[in-house]
Chain A
Amino acid sequence: AQTVTQSQPEMSVQEAETVTLSCTYDTSESDYYLFWYKQPPSRQMILVIRQEAYKQQNATENRFSVNFQKAAKSFSLKISDSQLGDAAMYFCAYRSGGSQGNLIFGKGTKLSVKP
């Protein structure tokens, strides 16, 4: 079975600084997708970034980028120029390529942004 591990329960970053959230996963599959979701206090799940396993190039979305290390099964999220609105729970998630779409989530990392 696939598992997703986020080893940092909480992280803190100074506004305008850069922070990296860690995520590792375990799978024997070759076709899969990885995601980072943000859950602010409103509890609405918001897709931050998505990575296809077959793509070597790291995904980037504005201030958010990932470091996808397939051999190491690592998928970290880097947030540059952190803003107060970035404060939230961040969940790393895995989806099998052949699945209907259900995600397997890590336990989450609570990110605080200090002004």
Chain B
Amino acid sequence: GAVVSQHPSRVICKSGTSVKIECRSLDFQATTMFWYRQFPKQSLMLMATSNEGSKATYEQGVEKDKFLINHASLTLSTLTVTSAHPEDSSFYICSALRNEKLFFGSGTQLSVL
């Protein structure tokens, strides 16, 4: 089946630094990828839709300048958390659509100290 790779799986950073998370579709081309955020014991909330070659579409309440998304190729989307603060600590999951099915990366646990 389709595989979506997400890296890193876990990252710890200091407050004020930036963190980049990569999401790759390994065996298919994904023109659209999605970034979700999941707080402990809660559901997944869509943050933004990443479109190859164009600007991402952000959900209401998501800060575009804090969560920078770049989808420069058909197999790679990146999420950069800029000037991270403790409240940005969360589990971030990417996903990609293939043949009407959504496949997920393994997620990134971000901890901001």
Contact = CB atoms under 8 A, between A and B. Distances in A.
A33 interface: yes
Interface residues of A, number: 20
Given A43-B91, A91-B43, A91-B44, A100 B97 contact: yes
A33 B104 CA distance: 17
Interface stretch (A14-22, A70-78, A101-109): A101-109
B interface secondary structure, majority? strand
Interface in B23-63: 32, 34, 38, 42-46, 49
A102 B46 contact: yes
A103 B107 contact: no
Contacts of B93: 43, 45
B102 interface: yes
A interface secondary structure, majority? loop
B91 A105 contact: no
A91 B43 CA distance: 8
A102 B49 contact: yes
A28 interface: no
A41 to B, nearest CB: 12
A103 B43 contact: no
Contact of A105 (B32, B43, B101): B43
B87 interface: no
Greatest chain B CB density within 10 A among A33, A44, A106 is at A44
A43 B106 contact: yes
Interface string B72-95: 000000000000000000010101
27 contacts: A33-B100, A42-B106, A43-B38, A43-B91, A43-B106, A43-B107, A44-B106, A44-B107, A45-B44, A45-B95, A46-B104, A47-B103, A50-B101, A91-B43, A91-B44, A95-B102, A100-B97, A101-B97, A101-B100, A103-B44, A103-B46, A103-B95, A103-B102, A105-B44, A105-B45, A107-B42, A108-B42
